[in-house]
Protein backbone atom coordinates (compact mmCIF):
# COMPACT_ATOMS: atom_id res chain seq x y z
CA UNK A 1 0.00 0.00 0.00
CA UNK A 2 1.33 3.41 -0.94
CA UNK A 3 1.67 6.29 1.52
CA UNK A 4 -1.11 8.22 -0.25
CA UNK A 5 -3.49 5.28 0.01
CA UNK A 6 -2.67 4.93 3.71
CA UNK A 7 -3.51 8.60 4.43
CA UNK A 8 -6.80 8.37 2.52
CA UNK A 9 -7.78 5.25 4.50
CA UNK A 10 -7.04 6.99 7.85
CA UNK A 11 -9.08 10.02 6.77
CA UNK A 12 -12.09 7.86 5.89
CA UNK A 13 -11.85 6.03 9.24
CA UNK A 14 -11.74 9.26 11.28
CA UNK A 15 -14.74 10.73 9.45
CA UNK A 16 -16.84 7.58 9.97
CA UNK A 17 -16.09 7.45 13.74
CA UNK A 18 -16.60 11.20 14.34
CA UNK A 19 -13.00 11.86 15.37
CA UNK A 20 -11.91 15.47 15.12
CA UNK A 21 -9.68 16.39 12.24
CA UNK A 22 -6.01 16.77 12.93
CA UNK A 23 -4.27 20.02 12.11
CA UNK A 24 -3.62 20.27 8.41
CA UNK A 25 -6.32 17.71 7.58
CA UNK A 26 -9.86 18.35 6.23
CA UNK A 27 -12.17 19.71 8.98
CA UNK A 28 -15.51 18.48 7.53
CA UNK A 29 -18.51 17.94 9.92
CA UNK A 30 -18.79 14.36 11.16
CA UNK A 31 -22.07 12.37 11.08
CA UNK A 32 -22.24 12.33 14.93
CA UNK A 33 -21.82 16.09 15.22
CA UNK A 34 -24.41 16.65 12.52
CA UNK A 35 -26.98 14.50 14.36
CA UNK A 36 -26.24 16.22 17.69
CA UNK A 37 -26.67 19.63 16.11
CA UNK A 38 -29.91 18.61 14.37
CA UNK A 39 -31.35 17.13 17.57
CA UNK A 40 -30.64 20.27 19.58
CA UNK A 41 -32.24 22.45 16.91
CA UNK A 42 -35.37 20.28 16.83
CA UNK A 43 -35.75 20.38 20.62
CA UNK A 44 -35.42 24.17 20.66
CA UNK A 45 -38.04 24.54 17.94
CA UNK A 46 -40.50 22.16 19.64
CA UNK A 47 -40.08 23.80 23.02
CA UNK A 48 -40.82 27.24 21.65
CA UNK A 49 -38.28 28.79 23.94
CA UNK A 50 -38.26 26.42 26.90
CA UNK A 51 -37.58 28.03 30.28
CA UNK A 52 -34.93 26.31 32.41
CA UNK A 53 -36.34 24.43 35.38
CA UNK A 54 -35.03 26.83 38.03
CA UNK A 55 -36.30 29.86 36.11
CA UNK A 56 -39.77 28.33 35.60
CA UNK A 57 -40.03 27.49 39.28
CA UNK A 58 -39.18 31.05 40.24
CA UNK A 59 -41.94 32.39 37.97
CA UNK A 60 -44.76 30.37 39.66
CA UNK A 61 -46.65 32.68 42.08
CA UNK A 62 -46.85 31.55 45.67
CA UNK A 63 -50.16 30.20 46.98
CA UNK A 64 -50.28 33.00 49.53
CA UNK A 65 -50.43 35.68 46.85
CA UNK A 66 -52.55 33.77 44.33
CA UNK A 67 -56.02 35.18 43.71
CA UNK A 68 -59.02 32.92 44.42
CA UNK A 69 -60.29 30.98 41.41
CA UNK A 70 -63.30 32.79 40.00
CA UNK A 71 -66.55 30.93 40.73
CA UNK A 72 -65.17 29.08 43.74
CA UNK A 73 -66.86 29.91 47.04
CA UNK A 74 -64.48 31.27 49.64
CA UNK A 75 -67.12 32.41 52.15
CA UNK A 76 -69.88 30.69 54.08
CA UNK A 77 -73.58 31.45 54.30
CA UNK A 78 -76.02 30.55 57.03
CA UNK A 79 -79.19 29.11 55.55
CA UNK A 80 -82.34 28.39 57.52
CA UNK A 81 -84.35 25.39 56.36
CA UNK A 82 -87.34 23.48 57.65
CA UNK A 83 -86.40 19.87 56.93
CA UNK A 84 -89.07 17.25 57.61
CA UNK A 85 -90.76 19.70 59.96
CA UNK A 86 -87.59 20.50 61.93
CA UNK A 87 -85.91 23.93 61.89
CA UNK A 88 -82.32 23.66 60.70
CA UNK A 89 -79.52 26.23 60.43
CA UNK A 90 -76.63 25.17 58.24
CA UNK A 91 -73.48 26.94 57.10
CA UNK A 92 -72.91 26.29 53.42
CA UNK A 93 -70.64 27.55 50.68
CA UNK A 94 -72.09 29.45 47.75
CA UNK A 95 -71.74 26.49 45.40
CA UNK A 96 -73.05 23.75 47.74
CA UNK A 97 -75.96 21.86 46.20
CA UNK A 98 -78.99 20.91 48.26
CA UNK A 99 -78.39 17.19 47.80
CA UNK A 100 -74.94 17.33 49.39
CA UNK A 101 -76.16 19.46 52.29
CA UNK A 102 -78.95 16.99 53.03
CA UNK A 103 -76.64 13.97 52.87
CA UNK A 104 -73.32 15.25 54.21
CA UNK A 105 -74.38 17.97 56.64
CA UNK A 106 -77.79 16.82 57.90
CA UNK A 107 -77.01 13.09 57.45
CA UNK A 108 -80.30 12.36 55.68
CA UNK A 109 -78.88 9.61 53.48
CA UNK A 110 -82.20 8.31 52.17
CA UNK A 111 -81.92 10.80 49.32
CA UNK A 112 -79.52 9.23 46.82
CA UNK A 113 -76.86 10.70 44.57
CA UNK A 114 -77.29 9.02 41.21
CA UNK A 115 -76.26 10.74 37.98
CA UNK A 116 -75.64 14.14 39.63
CA UNK A 117 -76.99 15.73 36.42
CA UNK A 118 -80.74 15.76 37.05
CA UNK A 119 -81.35 12.84 34.69
CA UNK A 120 -82.20 9.86 36.93
CA UNK A 121 -84.47 11.29 39.67
CA UNK A 122 -82.82 9.37 42.53
CA UNK A 123 -82.26 12.65 44.41
CA UNK A 124 -85.88 13.88 44.24
CA UNK A 125 -87.13 15.78 47.30
CA UNK A 126 -90.02 18.16 47.92
CA UNK A 127 -89.38 21.88 48.24
CA UNK A 128 -92.54 23.62 49.46
CA UNK A 129 -94.50 20.53 48.30
CA UNK A 130 -93.01 20.62 44.78
CA UNK A 131 -90.83 17.72 43.59
CA UNK A 132 -87.35 18.88 42.54
CA UNK A 133 -84.00 17.31 41.67
CA UNK A 134 -81.89 18.29 44.66
CA UNK A 135 -78.65 17.69 42.75
CA UNK A 136 -79.41 20.69 40.53
CA UNK A 137 -80.47 23.11 43.27
CA UNK A 138 -78.11 25.33 45.26
CA UNK A 139 -78.70 25.27 49.01
CA UNK A 140 -78.44 29.07 49.32
CA UNK A 141 -81.53 29.40 47.13
CA UNK A 142 -83.72 27.76 49.76
CA UNK A 143 -83.60 30.20 52.66
CA UNK A 144 -86.74 29.52 54.76
CA UNK A 145 -88.04 26.77 52.46
CA UNK A 146 -89.76 23.62 53.69
CA UNK A 147 -87.84 20.54 52.53
CA UNK A 148 -89.25 17.02 52.70
CA UNK A 149 -87.05 13.98 52.13
CA UNK A 150 -88.01 10.31 52.05
CA UNK A 151 -87.37 10.17 55.81
CA UNK A 152 -90.25 12.62 56.23
CA UNK A 153 -92.88 10.46 54.51
CA UNK A 154 -93.39 8.18 57.51
CA UNK A 155 -95.16 9.52 60.56
CA UNK A 156 -94.93 8.28 64.12
CA UNK A 157 -92.89 5.28 63.04
CA UNK A 158 -95.61 4.21 60.59
CA UNK A 159 -95.05 4.02 56.85
CA UNK A 160 -97.05 6.28 54.58
CA UNK A 161 -99.69 4.63 52.39
CA UNK A 162 -97.39 4.91 49.39
CA UNK A 163 -94.44 3.39 51.22
CA UNK A 164 -96.65 0.52 52.37
CA UNK A 165 -97.89 0.01 48.79
CA UNK A 166 -94.32 -0.13 47.48
CA UNK A 167 -93.64 -2.85 50.04
CA UNK A 168 -96.78 -4.85 49.24
CA UNK A 169 -96.34 -4.68 45.45
CA UNK A 170 -92.58 -5.35 45.52
CA UNK A 171 -92.03 -2.07 43.66
CA UNK A 172 -88.24 -2.13 43.96
CA UNK A 173 -85.29 -4.44 43.42
CA UNK A 174 -81.91 -2.96 44.34
CA UNK A 175 -83.71 -0.04 46.03
CA UNK A 176 -81.31 2.70 44.98
CA UNK A 177 -83.92 4.66 43.03
CA UNK A 178 -86.79 3.88 45.43
CA UNK A 179 -86.56 7.05 47.54
CA UNK A 180 -86.75 9.27 44.45
CA UNK A 181 -89.57 7.16 43.00
CA UNK A 182 -91.58 7.55 46.21
CA UNK A 183 -91.02 11.30 46.41
CA UNK A 184 -92.12 11.85 42.81
CA UNK A 185 -95.11 9.52 43.23
CA UNK A 186 -96.21 11.30 46.41
CA UNK A 187 -96.18 14.64 44.57
CA UNK A 188 -98.09 13.17 41.62
CA UNK A 189 -100.80 11.69 43.85
CA UNK A 190 -101.29 15.12 45.40
CA UNK A 191 -101.52 16.81 41.98
CA UNK A 192 -105.06 16.72 40.58
CA UNK A 193 -103.79 17.79 37.15
CA UNK A 194 -102.25 14.35 36.49
CA UNK A 195 -104.83 12.01 34.90
CA UNK A 196 -105.47 8.71 36.65
CA UNK A 197 -104.73 6.35 33.73
CA UNK A 198 -101.56 4.26 33.63
CA UNK A 199 -100.16 6.00 30.54
CA UNK A 200 -100.41 9.45 32.11
CA UNK A 201 -98.86 8.12 35.31
CA UNK A 202 -95.90 6.64 33.44
CA UNK A 203 -95.41 9.94 31.62
CA UNK A 204 -95.48 11.87 34.88
CA UNK A 205 -92.96 9.44 36.43
CA UNK A 206 -90.66 9.41 33.38
CA UNK A 207 -88.06 11.55 35.15
CA UNK A 208 -87.35 8.69 37.58
CA UNK A 209 -85.24 5.89 36.14
CA UNK A 210 -85.24 2.36 37.56
CA UNK A 211 -82.24 0.54 36.16
CA UNK A 212 -83.62 -2.75 37.48
CA UNK A 213 -86.78 -2.29 35.39
CA UNK A 214 -89.40 -2.52 38.15
CA UNK A 215 -91.70 -0.06 36.38
CA UNK A 216 -94.74 -2.36 36.24
CA UNK A 217 -94.73 -2.85 40.00
CA UNK A 218 -94.08 0.83 40.65
CA UNK A 219 -97.13 1.79 38.62
CA UNK A 220 -99.19 -0.89 40.38
CA UNK A 221 -98.18 0.46 43.81
CA UNK A 222 -99.03 4.06 42.93
CA UNK A 223 -102.37 3.13 41.37
CA UNK A 224 -103.25 1.01 44.40
CA UNK A 225 -102.89 4.09 46.61
CA UNK A 226 -104.94 6.17 44.17
CA UNK A 227 -107.75 3.61 44.07
CA UNK A 228 -107.74 3.24 47.84
CA UNK A 229 -108.02 7.01 48.25
CA UNK A 230 -110.99 7.09 45.85
CA UNK A 231 -112.80 4.35 47.78
CA UNK A 232 -112.17 6.11 51.08
CA UNK A 233 -113.26 9.47 49.61
Domain ranges in the chain?
75-152, 154-233
pLDDT by residue for the chain (233 residues), tens only, comes to 555 555 555 555 555 444 444 444 444 555 555 555 555 444 444 444 433 433 333 343 443 443 433 334 456 899 999 999 999 999 999 999 999 999 999 999 999 999 999 999 999 999 999 999 999 999 999 999 999 999 999 999 999 999 999 999 999 999 999 999 999 999 999 999 999 999 999 999 999 999 999 999 999 999 999 998 776 55
| Structural domain 154-233, CATH architecture | Orthogonal Bundle (1.10)
DSSP, residue by residue, 124-165: EEEETTEEEEGGGSBGGGGTT-EEE-GGGTSBTTB--HHHHH
Question: Does pTM surpass 0.75?
Answer: no
Query: Regarding the domain delimited by 75-152, which CATH topology (the fold level of the hierarchy) does it fall under?
Result: Ubiquitin-like (UB roll) (3.10.20)
CA dist 20 and 4 (Å) reads 20
Strand 124-127 with 146-148, pairing: antiparallel
Amino acid sequence: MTEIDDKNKRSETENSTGASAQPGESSGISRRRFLQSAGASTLAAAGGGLVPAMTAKAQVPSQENAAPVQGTAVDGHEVRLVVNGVQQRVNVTSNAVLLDVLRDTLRLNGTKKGCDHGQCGACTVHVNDVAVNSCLSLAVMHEGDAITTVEGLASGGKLSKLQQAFWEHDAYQCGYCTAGQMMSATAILADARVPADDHSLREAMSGNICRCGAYRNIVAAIQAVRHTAKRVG
